[in-house]
Amino acid sequence: MSDFSICVLDGYTLNPGDLSWDELKKLGSCTIYDRTKPQELVDRLAGFDIAITNKVVLDADKIYKLPDLKCLVVSATGYNVVDVESATLKNITVCNVPAYSTDSVAQLVFSHLLNIAQNVAYHDKTVKQGRWVKSADFSYWETPLIELAGLKLGIIGFGQIGRRVAEIGRSFGMQILLNTPRPIKNNHPDLKQVDLNTLLKESDVISLHCPLTDATKHLINKETLQFMKPSAILINTGRGPLIDENDLADALNKGRISAACLDVLYSEPPGKDNPLLTAKNSVITPHIAWASIAARKRLMDVVTENVKAFISGNAQNVVNPKL
C-alpha cells in the first residue's frame, strides 16, 4: 500500500453494492462516500492526495481551496464537472475513463429509437388490457410503425460512441450523416460527413455524441430546431446542456419535431418543473446509458488503474491539455 490518500466523493452510482472497492483500497488509505454535497466537498477533501468524482463539481473556487490535491480521477468519460484549466494551473492531474461504456450507450440509443419506431412495451400493455382479444382484425397498431432502413441517421460527434452508433445504424440499413470538427477517413458509400446545418435539415433521426463544451452548450436551440424536419426524432445520450430545454419543449409541444429521446437532462435529478417532463412525445430515461453491470465493471477497473498509474508516476488517461 502507498502513502497516498484517496477519497471517493460519490461512489454510490458506480457501486451501489454489486461491485467491490477492494482493489482500490489496496492502493492507499481510502475513504468512500456514497454522495457529497457541494458545501461538504472542501472539508471532505482537505488533506487528500487523490479524489475520485463522478458528478460532484470541482470548479475553480473549490480547486483553489485544496492545496494538497494532486490527482482528480473522473469516474466517467465526460469530464465537464472539473475545471480542467484551473486544475492544470494548480498542477493537478485530471484523468477520465474513455470508452468503458461505448457499447452500452450505443445500445440505449437504439433502445430509444426502436421504442419510438415500434412501441413494443406500449403494444404489450394494450394486449394485456384486452384490446387484441376484442379486436375485429388479426392485427392492430396504435402508433405509427416506422422502418429504420433507408432513414437518415445524423450523428453529431464522431468519437467512440458516435462511431458505434453509426455501425449499428448501418446494420439497420440507415444512411449515416455525420458532423465532427475534423475530416474523417471514409470508405463507406452510406456514410457522409456534412456541415451541421445539412445534418439538421436532412436527418430523420439526430443523435448527439459530442462532449459538453462552451462550443456545444445549447447546440440544440430554437434556431437549430427550426432546421429539423417535422418528423425528426432527436436523441440525446450526451449531456443535458447540449440542449436548450425550454426551446426543445416548445418545439415538441408545437409539433416542430416529432419526438425527443433523452437520457440526460440539464440538472440531474431534474426539478419538478422541468418542461421536458410534460412535453409532448418526450421519452426520458434517468441517465442509465452508462450503467450496465458490464460497463460499470470496466469503469471500476479503469478508475483503479488510473489511480495506480498516477501513484507509480506514469499517469494514464490524462485530459489536462499540458501539465
Active site residues: 239, 268, 287
Q: Does 84 bind ligand NAI (CB under 6 A)?
A: no
Q: Does 321 bind ligand NAI (CB under 6 A)?
A: no
Q: Which three cell numbers stand for residue 9?
A: 466523493
Closer residue to ligand NAI (CB): 50 or 76: 76
Q: Does 216 bind ligand NAI (CB under 6 A)?
A: yes
Binding string to ligand NAI for residues 105 to 124, with x set by CB under 6 A, is what? Answer: x-------------------
Closer residue to ligand NAI (CB): 12 or 122: 12
Q: Is there a contact between 202 and 192 (Cβ–Cβ < 8 Å)?
A: no
Of positions 78, 241, 270, 275, contacts ligand NAI by CB under 6 A: 78
Q: What residue type is 8 in one-letter code?
A: V
Q: Minimum Å distance from CB 124 to ligand NAI?
A: 26
Of positions 17, 181, 269, 321, contacts ligand NAI by CB under 6 A: 181
In the numeric block, the cell 450523416 is attached to 177
Closer residue to ligand NAI (CB): 99 or 168: 99
- Binding positions for ligand NAI, 218-237, rule CB under 6 A: 237
How many other β-carbons are positioned within 10 Å of the β-carbon of residue 244? Answer: 20
Q: Does 264 bind ligand NAI (CB under 6 A)?
A: yes
Of positions 36, 160, 282, 304, contacts ligand NAI by CB under 6 A: 160
For ligand NAI, the nearest residue by Cβ is: 159
Q: Does 77 bind ligand NAI (CB under 6 A)?
A: yes
Of positions 215, 273, 321, 322, contacts ligand NAI by CB under 6 A: 215
- Sheet of strand 50-53: strand arrangement: 29-32, 5-8, 50-53, 71-74, 93-95
Stretch that binds ligand NAI, among 14-22, 63-71, 285-293, 296-304 (CB under 6 A): 285-293
Of positions 14, 27, 94, 210, contacts ligand NAI by CB under 6 A: 210
Q: Does 289 bind ligand NAI (CB under 6 A)?
A: yes
CA angle at residue 123 from 120 to 129, to 5 degrees?
140
Q: Provide the binding-site residues for ligand NAI, judged by CB under 6 A.
A: 77-78, 98-99, 101-102, 105, 156-162, 179-181, 209-212, 215-216, 237-239, 263-264, 287, 289-290
